[in-house]
Amino acid sequence: MSNNSKVLALKYRPQVFKDLIGQNIIVETIEKSISQNKIPNAFLFTGIRGVGKTTIARILAKSLNCGNSEKNSCLKNKCKNCDEISESRHIDVLEMDAASKTGVDDVRDLIEFSRYGPTSSKFKIFIIDEVHMLSKQAFNALLKTLEEPPSYLKFIFATTEVNKIPITVLSRCQRFDLSRIKSEELSEFLAKVAEMEKIDINQDVLNLISKISEGSVRDALSLLDRISLTNDDSQKGNISLESAREIFGYFDKEFTLNLIEKIFDGDEDKTLDLYRQIYQKGVEPKIFLNGFLEIIYYLKNFKNLERVSFSTDLTENNFKKIKEMSEKLDAHTLLLFWQFTIETMDEVNIVNDPNLSVEMFLIRLLYLKGNRTKIDNSAPNQKNKIDNNFEKKKIAVNQLKSSSQEKQKKILEENKSLNNLEIKSFNDLVDICNSKKEVELKYELETNVNLINFKNGYIEISFNENLKKDFVKILSSKLYEWTNTRWIISLSQNKGQETIKKTSEGEKKNNLKDFEQTDIFNNIKKSFPDAELMDVKDNKDD
C-alpha cells in the first residue's frame, strides 16, 4: 500500500518520541530511563482509545533496540532494527493481541520463546496489546517471568481497562497513564496535517473536530479524513462549520439556546418545532440531552465561561445570548432543569422511542412551574412563584427524609431493647442461639466446645480441631449484639467439661441401660428374643 493511500490515522502515526503530542512528561521519563540504563522489566501504558498506547510501545521497542548508538531513535535514516520494527517483522520483537490470544497456552508459548536470547539486537521485547483480556490463569503463568526475567527480556503492555489487570501484575510493572490530548494541542496538530494534505479547512471546524474526538488523536484524524472525503471539492472552497456539523451529525448551539429561550417563554409549539428540526438533522436524543446539559452549565456558570471558551464551539453571538439569558434566570430554576435532564438521560435507555421521551421531557419543563407564561425575574410575582415552588419541593423532600430518619431511629431503639438480653449460663447461650436461628453457632457450641468457666461477661473454653477459625470472632459479635456488653472469650488448654452433644449421648446410653433392667423390657425379651432397645422416651411431662 502506498503512503498516500493510507488513512490519515496510519499515515501520520508517530515514529519517534519527538513526534508524539500531549505526553511530554511520559516521554521525558522513558528517555531518561534509557539514557541512564535504568530500564524496568515491564512497562504498562494505559489510557483512553487513540492517545498513543500501542504507538509509544513500538517507539519504545525501537529505542531499546536502535542500532544507532549516538541516539536512541532513528528519524530520517532508519537503522535496520528500527525499520523492521516499524514494519512488524523484527525477529526479536513479538507483538501479541491479547484479545485474540487470551489463554494460558498462549502465554506458555511466549515464556518458552523467551528462553532464547535475542538474535540481532540488544533486547528481546514482547508487546502485549489489550493485556487486560488475558485470562486469570494466563496472568498467573506470567507472574514469575515478569518479576525476574532474563536481562535481555522486556515486556511492554498496553490497555484501556487497567482496573481489570490483577494487582500482582500491576505491582511488577512501571505504569504510565496517558492523558487525553488537550484541545489546543489537538487543533494545532490537525492544522498541520490539513496543511500537508492540502485540505482547505478553517480553524472553527478543527476546533469542532477536537471537541467531538474528546482528546483522542486517532478519532480526530478519522474525522478529518471523513470530512476531506465527503467534500470532494474541498480544495476549491473552504469547508464551512455548518457543513461540518451536518457531516458529523452535530447541531449548532444556537438551536439549543433558542429552544431553552422558548421554554422560558412558555411557547410549547415553537419549543417542539425547534427540537424536531434538531432531530431531523440526524442528532440522537442522547446527544441532544448532553448538549442541553452543556448549555444549562454555561447559563449557570457564565462568569467562568471565558476560561473554557476555546474547548467549546460557541460563536460570539452564542456568548452574547448566553450572557443575556444568564442575567435573567435564577439558579434554582437552572438546577431544577439540570436535575430533570439527568433523569431523562436514564429514561431514554428504557423507552422504545427515545425521541418521544425527549419531547415529553421538554413539555414537563414547560409545565414545571404550573404555567406556560414567560419567566422573567423582573416580575416579582413570577420569581416568587418559582422560589415558593422550589422551597415547597425542598420542604417536602426534607419532611420525607425526616420521617424516614425517625422511623429508622425507632426501629433501632426497638431492636436495642429486644437485644438487651441476660445470659446467665452456657445453656442459656445455646437456647438463645436456637431462638435467634443461629444454627451454625449453636452447632459449634454443642459439638466442638468444652466449657471450663462461665460467668457474666466472661467465658473460658477449650475446643477440638473441628472448631471453625472464626468462631470466637462470630460469638463475640453476637454476644455484643444480644447483650450490649463486651464479652471476654478465653481459650484454654485444659480439658474442660464434655461437649453438650457427648453429654446428651452419654445420658441416652444410661437411660437405655436402666430400661434394660426393668420388668417391662424383660417380658418383651421373653416374647421376642431378637428385640433391641433403640431409644427411651420420658413420659413424665405427658
344 and 465 within one domain: no
Residues 188, 172: one domain?
no
Instruction: Write the CA distances from 166 to 101, 143, 158, 267, integer angstroms.
Output: 18, 10, 14, 56
**For residue 535, is it within any domain?**
no
Predicted pLDDT at 2: 47
Residue 372 confidence class, pLDDT cut points 50, 70, 90: very low
Residue 415 pLDDT: 52
Between 183 and 403, the higher pLDDT residue: 183
pLDDT surpasses 60 at 391: no
Domain annotation covers residue 106: yes
For 451-491, write each residue's pLDDT tens digit. 888 888 888 888 777 888 788 888 888 888 888 888 888 88
Strand blocks (E) in 232-350: none
For 505, what's the count of Cα atoms within 13 Å in the CB-facing half-sphere? 7
- Poorest-confidence range of 88-97, 315-324, 405-414, 430-439? 405-414
Give me the CATH number covering residue 233. 1.10.8.60
Residues 172 and 34 in one domain: yes
- What pLDDT score does 234 carry? 41
Is residue 221 one of the residues assigned to a domain?
A: yes
CATH number reported for the structural domain that contains residue 71 in this entry:
3.40.50.300
Q: Are residues 152 and 23 in the same domain?
A: yes
Cα-based angle 419, 424, 430 (whole degrees, multiple of 5): 70
pLDDT value of residue 159: 93
- pLDDT beyond 80 at 252: no
Better pLDDT: 34 or 510: 34
Domain holding 448: CATH number?
Answer: 3.30.300
Distance between CA atoms of 194 and 351, rounded to whole angstroms? 42
> Could you tell me if 57 and 72 lie in one domain?
yes
pLDDT for 447 equals 86
Q: Are residues 236 and 270 in the same domain?
A: no
- In whole angstroms, what is the distance from residue 338 CA to residue 333 CA? 9
Q: Whole domain around residue 169: which residue ranges?
A: 3-177
Q: Which residues pair with 458 in a beta bridge?
A: 455, 488
Residue 475 belongs to some domain of the structure: yes
| 234/327: higher pLDDT | 327
Residue 309's pLDDT band (boundaries 50, 70, 90)? very low
What does the mean pLDDT of the chain come to? 80
CA dihedral 380, 386, 388, 393 (to 10 degrees): -170
Average pLDDT on 524-537 reads 73
Rounded distance, CA 462 to CA 495, Å? 6
Predicted pLDDT at 516: 77
End-to-end CA distance of the chain, in Å?
Answer: 99
Please state the domain count of the chain.
4
Residue finishing a domain among 344, 378, 412: 378
- ∠ at Cα 380 (375, 381), nearest 5°? 75
In a domain, 139, yes or no: yes
Burial class (CB in 10 A: 0-12, 13-18, 19+), 102: middle
